[in-house]
């Protein structure tokens, strides 16, 4: 979504089997022009796991790197490209119930992203952001869409 211009920035976790594969993944990030910083790397269950912060613009990357999501929910949410109404609802604790949210997502099987909570007041409009993101990834990277849909 960052590469497609739908999000200013995001956190990305990459899993590989070897360190060489991880280096290849880092080269891929460079080759497509994303700004990024590796936040950490460790081994888990025999795999290499690396966490990155990525953005299209250096300023957005710096903002993300300097934003603690546990402290500044608003700034973090907006950097992640979440709708302002969803970010505000999260801050004000006026979120749609998990049950209602789950029902909406079940009614919309084409949506493969659900990485922010929907607000009580604007949930139907916010679902359109998730639909747009899903359609964008379906068009730009159908293989990724299929993987996300299968999970």
pLDDT digits (tens, 9 = 90+) for 95-117: 999 999 999 999 999 999 888 99
Q: What is the mean pLDDT of residues 12-33?
A: 95
Q: Are 122 and 83 in contact, with CB atoms under 8 Å apart?
A: yes
For residue 101, count other CB atoms closer than 10 A to its CB: 17
Instruction: Tell me which residue of 53, 8, 65, 5 sits closest to 29, measured CA to CA.
Output: 53
Q: Given a cut of 70, is residue 24 above it in pLDDT?
A: yes
d(C-alpha 135, C-alpha 73), whole Å: 27
d(C-alpha 106, C-alpha 104), whole Å: 5
Using pLDDT thresholds of 50, 70 and 90, give the confidence band for residue 150.
confident
pLDDT at 94: 97
Torsion of CA 129, 55, 145, 100, to 10 degrees: -30
pLDDT at 151: 59
Q: Given a cut of 90, is residue 17 above it in pLDDT?
A: yes
pLDDT digits (tens, 9 = 90+) for 43-97: 999 999 999 999 999 999 999 999 999 999 999 999 999 999 999 999 999 999 9
35-44 sheet: strands from edge to edge: 9-16, 47-55, 35-44
């Amino acid at each position: 979504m960052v590469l497609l211009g739908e999000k200013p920035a995001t956190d990305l976790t990459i899993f590989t089997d070897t360190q060489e594969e991880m280096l290849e993944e880092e080269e891929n990030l460079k080759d497509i022009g994303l700004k990024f910083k590796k936040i950490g790397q460790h081994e888990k269950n025999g795999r290499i796991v690396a966490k990155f912060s990525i953005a299209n613009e250096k300023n957005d990357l710096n903002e993300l790197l300097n934003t603690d999501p546990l402290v500044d929910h608003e700034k973090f949410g907006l950097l992640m490209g979440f709708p302002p109404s969803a970010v505000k609802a999260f801050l004000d604790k006026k979120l749609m119930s998990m049950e209602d949210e789950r029902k909406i997502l079940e009614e919309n099987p084409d949506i493969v992203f659900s990485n922010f909570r929907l607000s009580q007041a604007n949930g139907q409009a916010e679902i359109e952001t998730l639909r747009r993101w899903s359609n964008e990834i379906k068009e730009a990277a159908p293989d990724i869409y299929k993987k996300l849909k299968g999970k």
